[in-house]
Amino acid sequence: MTETQDIVIIGGGPGGYVAAIHAARLGATVTLVEKADVGGTCLNWGCIPTKSLLASADILSHLSEAKDFGVSVQGYTFDLSQAMSRKDGVVRQLRSGVESLFVANGVRLVRGSGDIVAPGQVKVTNGQEEIISARNIVIATGSVPATLPIPGLDAEGVINSNQAVALKSLPKRLLIIGGGAIGVEFGDMFNRFGSQVTIVELMDRLIPMEDADLSQVLQRSFRRRSITQHLGSSVKEVRTEGGEKVVTVLQPKDKQQEVRADLVLVGVGRVPNTRGLSLDKIGIRVERGRIIVDERMRTSVPGIYAIGDVVGKMMLAHVASHEGMVAVENALGREATMDYKAVPRCIYTRPEIAGVGLTEAMAREQGRDLTVGRFPFSANGKALGIGERDGFVKVIADKEYGEILGIAIAGPHATELIAEAALAISMEGTVEDVAQAIHAHPTLSEVSMEAALDVNGQAIHIAPRKARSA
């Protein structure tokens, strides 16, 4: 048995490993328990693999459009195995980097499954058992792909998001169940790889948790690219006939359609992973599968914290990382609280989608008196120069004080542009703050400035509102 640790962390994903490094740098003795590869879902099966593969899709898009820029390219082909190999290399490099940071910061990594056998004691099992004593425990066990009670989903040829980033061959026809962030990213990717893609979404629009205007931009883009969208629809069953999948889709007004596919991807999100933690035995409060925590990431048991997907607040890697830092600050006697007001939400399709703060619908549901400004990328010099004219920036602001409540972006590099918006909201900034900040020209960031100016009808490079509404 090792000496009592200041903090033992169960789970080495973006929440757990960041918490471990942060705690070590604050002078704590830290042990991290991980049963698989460090980096968790994000690094090994989610964020990094998908973005690496989407980079391959971007290259294909640029090649197909090259002649518009005066570049003649002939005879190129796409090799899925090479794209997967490159993805694996990126993952290995980043995973190795995390492990080297553990060594550099004195974090002890223990391989195995962790179980909290009592407050202050973690049992690690990996062929043999080890009991680690801890003054504080942080649960960071993440999530697993969600499943649905649909007949036929357990058959061969039906995969989840983890399996999708490890495919050996490209499906000619791919049907995706779920039109949220996971579903649309895979739909976008495989469409550009050359698959015929169909998306089935229960709600009446894609990415239903985001601003409705963002959904419209993405749906138009997908229609132009012949991605079939069954909205307000659900899957009744999946059956196998002659080596292909026959998917029964229930559509609005009780209509029904059979769609044939070579592969079915279930992309309806993820659920908290609390398996094997003995939470009920030690009295940790759990509701609907997620661990309940307060704003300091404390569970109902003193000395035990929980972070990331397992608490189910916002299942995003950067949220888990920040929650991890908040948890260890409190565990080590400091004071920190978690604020979700300015968390960026990013979807890496083409065009990219990003949002932060309130959507317009959310703000109106709260009874806020709003003003809204927007500016299209089609009126931006940099966007036209690089051939990316789809989308806009939309600013939702409080009418009386001009405080920015939310910003929605659809367009080129939206997931990078959203950082300015997140900073503005976290600082309780106003539209004047963004509008008066000098933005370099020509840049895509000027669209954010123009959208802020448009809140008060002062955007420069677009017709006045009266002319637009005429």
How many residues appear in the chain? 470
Give the active site residue among 62, 230, 441, 461: 441
What is the Cα 92 distance to its own chain's centre? 21
Contacts of 402 by beta carbon, 8 Å cutoff, 6+ apart: 371, 430, 431, 432, 455
Residue 251 is predicted with a pLDDT of 93
Contacts of 227 by beta carbon, 8 Å cutoff, 6+ apart: 187, 188, 191, 197, 198, 199
Q: Which residues partner with 261 through β-bridges? A: 245
Residue carrying the six token digits 């883009």: 221
Domains and CATH numbers, the chain: 5-145+271-331 (3.50.50.60), 158-268 (3.50.50.60), 345-469 (3.30.390.30)
Closest CA to 393 of 449, 465, 349, 461: 449
Regions in the chain scoring below 70 on pLDDT: 1-2, 466-470
The answer to whether the beta carbons of residues 124 and 44 sit under 8 Å apart is no
Residue 466 is predicted with a pLDDT of 67
Residue 48 is predicted with a pLDDT of 97
* Cα–Cα distance, 143 to 310 (Å, whole number): 6
* Cα–Cα distance, 27 to 105 (Å, whole number): 10
Burial of residue 89 (CB within 10 Å: 0-12, 13-18, 19+) is exposed
Please state the pTM of the whole predicted model: 0.95
Residue 468 is predicted with a pLDDT of 63
Instruction: Say whether 441 is catalytic.
Output: yes
Structure tokens belonging to residue 125: 């099992």
Residue 275 is predicted with a pLDDT of 87
Closest CA to 139 of 336, 339, 328, 304: 304
* Cα–Cα distance, 93 to 97 (Å, whole number): 6
